[in-house]
Amino acid sequence: MTEAENAALIRDMKSHIQDLEQDKKTLREASVDNSVAHLQEELIAIKLREAEANLSLKELRHRVADLHSQWQRHLTVSIPNHKINKNIINFGFSTMSEQGSISVRNGGSRVGKFIEFVISLHLLNEYPLG
């Protein structure tokens, strides 16, 4: 090969290398954008699941309040003239904390145990084990 051919071949190879480096840089930048887009999509999905969980928790709170009022009505109708232990009728249902937990004061009472049982059944139906 002549020196002119070698020089032309070297120029072509340098040009090809520059093109490849430019393509690599473009791909690297695109993959970063794809990663950010993927993380944004994942964040949206997580926020959606959180909203669904908050809605379920709100429904659960409403259901527990309904059960509480039904129990109160049942006790006042079924035992109207008897002396009733105040801890059974007003079992001290405390408000839900910000973390969403439910606590029942006087948990040793029959009503407290009943409410805990109902809540656990509801949670098992919503989030079955296994």
The DSSP secondary structure of 58-92, one letter per residue, reads HHHHHHHHHHHHHHHHHHHHHSSSS---HHHHS--
Q: What is the pLDDT of residue 86?
A: 45
Instruction: Determine the angle formed by the axes of helices 3-78 and 110-126, rounding to 10 degrees.
Output: 150
pLDDT, one tens digit per residue, over 56-90 is 999 999 999 999 999 888 888 876 554 444 444 44
Determine the pLDDT at residue 123: 61
SS3 104: strand
What is the pLDDT at residue 50?
A: 95
| Helix, strand, or coil (residue 128) | coil
For the chain, the structural domain boundaries read 3-126
Using DSSP's 3-state secondary structure scheme, residue 93 falls into: strand
Task: Give the whole-angstrom CA distance, residue 19 versus residue 41.
Answer: 33
Q: Which two tokens stand for residue 129?
A: 């084990």
Name residues of the chain where pLDDT drops below 70: 1, 32-33, 79-109, 111, 120-130
Record the pTM. Answer: 0.41
